[in-house]
Structure 1
Amino acid sequence: MSRTVRSTIRSVLTTRDLESFVETYKILEHFSPTLPCPDDSAECTPDRVVLYTLSFSTCGVRYPLSSFKVDPLRHFKVHFS
């Protein structure tokens, strides 16, 4: 997916969706899961990781990931979506 296309992706989740997602996949509070603001694009930054919830249901991804799995993703600048 190109950077231009990624920058146009907007979240459609509600607060209730996020709460359910966090509970279902046991995402720890110290990760501070938050929804983006309506005008935010889906862009990772050094202090933020963007998760596409579809990855969980279609790929069987489970978080938190170990550094063994995260390091190659960061190195190659790729993500599960």
Structure 2
Amino acid sequence: MICSVLTAKHMESFVDTYKIPRRFSPTLPGSDESAECTPDQIVLYTLVFSSCGVRYPLSPFKIALLRHFGVHFSQPHP
């Protein structure tokens, strides 16, 4: 099991840096919780953003490509 090392302060900085809309209600899992996708929320791994240069908002072109191939934005690799 991998535990999150992100603090609330770092999460706020991450949300601001990558311009993740507040309407998505970003939250950290508790220390005893696992990060799981549900119908109401998704899981984001901060390393993907910092190492791959992912930026929000995704362009219409990127969204069209992802929909065409049926993949999540974290799946394609350079």
The residue type paired with residue 68 of structure 1 is A
- Contact 2:48/2:54 (CA < 8 Å) preserved in 1? yes
Computing the radius of gyration over CA atoms, which structure comes out larger, 1 or 2?
A: 2
Tell me the secondary structure at the aligned position of residue 73 of structure 1. coil
Q: Cα RMSD between the aligned structures?
A: 2.2
- Contact 1:42/1:50 (CA < 8 Å) preserved in 2? yes
The residue type paired with residue 14 of structure 1 is T
1:60/1:52 Cα in 2 relative to 1: closer, same or farther (>3 Å)?
A: same
Structure 2 unpaired stretches of 5+ = none
Structure 1 unpaired stretches of 5+ = 1-7
TM-score (norm 1): 0.69
**Cα distance, 1:45 vs. partner?**
1.5
Structure 2 matches for 1:50-69, cutoff 5 A? 50-65=43-58, 68=64
- Contact 1:15/1:35 (CA < 8 Å) preserved in 2? yes
Partner residue in 1 for 2:18: 25
TM-score (norm 2): 0.72
